[in-house]
Amino acid sequence: MDKELFVERAVVDSILSYAQMLHPRESILLLRGTVDKHKLLINDTQLPPFATHGKSFSAFPLHSLPIDFSVMGVAHSHPSGALRPSATDLNKFYGRIMIITAYPYQSESNLAVFDRQGSPLKYKII
């Protein structure tokens, strides 16, 4: 990605604590933010409008999300502990970035950001 990527601390905390709360089920959150020529900022999370707890990311109907240009991507958890996207995750990629948090969801070392190709992206927590 050709932009600097920033994620607010509160967003990281919400993703980790929501994943802990739903474990061993998968958690899914929409990532909201702003984008300009030089940077992408994630500053809010939102429950998907038709979230069913326990539905896995791969079974989630992302295609039926309303078009909302403040949604920059989706965060979901991997109760298995794998900190990388699966082939299905990449097929279901929605938005500009994907955040995955892996069990035990304790800190940002259990969280990673990926692009559409599944390559890890550098980001700064602000």
Should residue 44 be labelled a site residue for Zn ion when binding is judged by CB under 5 A? no
Which token pair is 102?
């892996």
Should residue 89 be labelled a site residue for Zn ion when binding is judged by CB under 5 A? yes
Least separation in angstroms between CB 2 and Zn ion: 25
Binding span for Zn ion by CB under 5 A among 4-12, 38-46, 55-63, 67-75: 55-63
Binding span for Zn ion by CB under 5 A among 17-25, 56-64, 67-75, 90-98: 56-64
Q: Which among 110, 117, 68 is positioned nearest to 91, based on CA atoms?
A: 117
Active site residue 26: yes
Q: Where are the alpha helices (DSSP H) in 23-95?
A: 87-91
Q: Which residues contact 120 (CB under 8 A, 6 or more apart)?
A: 112, 113, 114
